[in-house]
C-alpha cells in the first residue's frame, strides 16, 4: 500500500465518522482510530507483520489537540488579509525541512519568486525524503512552519501571493 493510498484511507475514515477501522492486507495491518468519542485526536497505527526472522515494525502517529487549537485561533483573525494568498499545504505527515542539508541554503525564502514545479521544501516520512513542489506561480509571502518541525497532513506550510 502506498503512502498516497494510506492518506486517502485516513481522509475517508475521518470524513465517514467511524471511530475505528482495521484493515489487514497480506503482511500489512492498519488500524485507524478517529477521535469521534474523545475530541479531535486522530491516530493511525501501521504494522508490518514479521517475516520469519524480521522484528515487528510499528508506527504510531498521534497529533495533540493542544497543537492544532492555537493554529486555528491564529488563522482566524488574519483570514481576511490572507484570503488573497494561496496556501500550500503538506501532502503527507512527516518532518518539515527547509533545506536539503544543514549546510545548504533554504529552498525558498520570504520574498522569493516561485514558479510551478519549483521545490519548496522536503518532508521526511518513514526515512523517505519527499520534495514538495509548488503548484502555483507567485511570490512567497510567509513560511508557516519552523525548520525540522513535525507536520500533519493538509497542514499549511507556505502562503504565496499568486499575482
- Domains of the chain: which residue ranges? 3-61, 74-161
Q: Which triple of cell numbers denotes residue 8?
A: 486517502
Question: With contact defined as beta carbons under 8 Å apart, do 107 and 120 qualify?
Answer: yes
Cell 519549483, located at residue:
118
At 17 the pLDDT is 72
- Cα gap 86→102, rounded to integer Å: 28
Closest by Cα among 33, 32, 36, 38 to 17: 36
Ordered per-residue pLDDT tens for the chain, 163 residues: 677 777 777 777 777 777 777 877 777 777 777 665 544 444 555 555 554 444 444 444 444 444 444 444 444 445 556 678 999 999 999 999 999 999 999 999 999 999 999 999 999 998 899 999 999 999 999 999 999 999 999 999 999 998 7
What's the pTM?
A: 0.51
* CATH code assigned to 74-161: 2.40.50.100
Question: With contact defined as beta carbons under 8 Å apart, do 28 and 1 qualify?
Answer: yes
Cell 504494522, located at residue:
47
At 8 the pLDDT is 77
Amino acid at each position: 500500500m502506498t503512502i498516497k493510498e494510506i492518506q486517502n484511507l485516513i481522509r475517508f475514515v475521518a470524513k465517514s465518522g467511524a471511530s475505528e477501522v482495521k484493515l489487514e492486507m497480506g503482511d500489512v495491518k492498519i488500524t485507524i482510530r478517529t477521535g469521534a468519542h474523545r475530541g479531535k485526536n486522530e491516530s493511525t497505527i501501521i504494522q508490518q507483520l514479521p517475516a520469519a526472522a524480521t522484528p515487528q515494525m510499528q508506527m504510531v502517529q498521534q497529533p495533540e489537540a493542544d497543537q492544532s487549537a492555537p493554529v486555528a485561533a491564529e488563522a482566524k483573525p488574519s483570514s481576511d488579509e490572507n484570503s488573497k494568498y494561496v496556501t500550500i499545504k503538506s501532502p503527507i505527515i512527516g518532518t518539515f525541512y527547509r533545506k536539503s542539508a544543514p549546510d545548504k541554503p533554504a529552498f525558498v525564502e520570504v520574498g522569493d519568486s516561485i514558479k510551478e514545479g519549483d521545490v519548496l521544501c522536503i518532508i521526511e516520512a518513514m526515512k523517505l525524503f519527499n520534495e514538495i513542489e509548488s503548484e502555483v506561480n507567485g511570490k512567497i509571502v510567509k513560511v508557516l512552519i519552523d525548520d525540522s518541525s513535525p507536520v500533519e497532513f493538509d497542514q499549511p506550510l507556505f502562503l504565496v501571493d499568486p499575482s
